[in-house]
Amino acid sequence: MSSTAAKGLSDPKPPVRPSLWANTDFTKLWIGQTASLVGAQIGDLALPLTAVFALHATSQQVGLLSTAIRLPYLLVALFVGVLVDRVGRRHLMMGADLGRALVLGMIPLLYWLQALGLSSLYVVGFVAGCGTVLFDVAAQAYLPRLVDRDDIVLGNSHLGSAQSAATIGGPALGGVLVQWLTAPVAVCAASFSYLLSVLNVWLIRHRETATEPSSGSGVAGTFRQVRDGLALVLRNEPLRSMSLMAAVFNLSFTAFEVAFVQYMPHDLKLTAGEIGLVMAALGPGFLVGAMFAAGLPKRLGYGRALILTACVANAVMPLIALLGPWGFLTVAALMVINFLFASFGVANTVAVMTIRQSITPDHLQGRVAATNRFVAMGVAPLGALLGGILGSTVGLRGTVLITTIGLCFALVPLGTSSLARIRHDLPDPIAG
């Protein structure tokens, strides 16, 4: 036998890893999270439309409803992280979606009883928002328990595809249901989606064991655990850099959105149909980004993939401020920009979540995810206020330019971080 043949026999190829879809628990999580995301998209559309069509709410009242839905990110996110690390994450996901299904199911009942008012919508919006925060944090913390360490990036990529599909299909389905059934009744579709999520998560066979070290009970113990999560994010340089990037991004992007919806019809002279085409380009971008998100870190390394995707997604946005009312050329340019922003943005989100989940000790997964949501989403109300102030002082084009340059400043925390040194192998969890 030749030496080459002998070498071939002694050096067999490594076994092929089974498909992640062969992991039935992950598949059930994927279906459940997809259903939950669709429910959230329908609810986010149907609740404001209920206020407008059924209760004839003013713009200010709709704004208050939107604030009530998002306020839990600021008020309860950090405490949700403690709860996720204390209690089984699977049970919390089921409880969050069951709660959202029940509270949203009250809307058509109150409407039928002629007892629905704006105060009811504010309460329902806030409670549903609390359920959203709880489900999001628990789901992010649960994934590393269901898949092998080497499959975390692929799992996040598949879940990113689910989020993309929900972002595309949820509002469209919600709009059709509102037109067919009226807004209050359409809310029932969101409740049904949440119940479908509960069923699939309940079918997951994996059973969790408590990993949270004892750190005291009661109010003092809770605040001590909140502090532990905050301290870990502030102390660890990669976690701190990614949280700062998210905060600057969301502050700037929320301000940008306030101006952009006015900038397109007023400054760029786009019709409603053309604006629809521009926004529709986000959908394919989300799907394409989710498709290449898992492969990019394998080629470039996790840290470099994170930095590259953030640079491309954010750096294309200032081009919007340079466009004029050029008809088809403007529409085409905005569609390309939106496609690039969506595709590289999704890939960046997958890289961020994978690195964060890999370096966070399991017993702190909930608190670190909650801290990230608190930092990233807590600045959104301030961003909306900033967008309104800038729009009235420097004009819509000036606001678009300033806020998109602000998106580029979100890259600054990455420039001085050690993230680029995270290579193709996921780093070990840090000391918690």
What mean pLDDT do residues 159-177 have? 77
| pLDDT: which is higher, 420 or 242 | 242
Given a cut of 50, whether residue 64 has pLDDT beyond it is: yes
**Of 175-179, 263-267, 389-393, 398-402, the least confident:** 175-179
Given a cut of 50, whether residue 1 has pLDDT beyond it is: no
Break the chain down into helix, strand, coil percent, rounded to 5: 80, 0, 20
Q: What is the largest CA-CA distance in the chain?
A: 88
Q: Look at residue 10 in the predicted model and tell me its pLDDT.
A: 47
Given a cut of 70, whether residue 20 has pLDDT beyond it is: yes
Tokens 């678009």 sit at which residue? 400
Domains in the chain, start-ordered, CATH in brackets?
A: 21-207 (1.20.1250.20), 223-424 (1.20.1250.20)
Q: Which of 57, 33, 48, 47 has its CA nearest to residue 103?
A: 47
Per-residue pLDDT tens digits for 285-302 = 988 998 888 889 888 889
Q: Which of 342, 319, 308 has its CA nearest to residue 411?
A: 308
Q: What percent of the chain has pLDDT over 90?
A: 43
**How high is the mean pLDDT of the chain?**
86
Residue 49 and residue 318: Cα distance in Å, rounded?
Answer: 32
Handedness of CA 283, 285, 289, 292 (dihedral sign): positive
**Of 3-7, 30-34, 116-120, the least confident:** 3-7
Confidence band for 9, pLDDT divided at 50, 70 and 90: very low
Q: Look at residue 326 in the predicted model and tell me its pLDDT.
A: 95
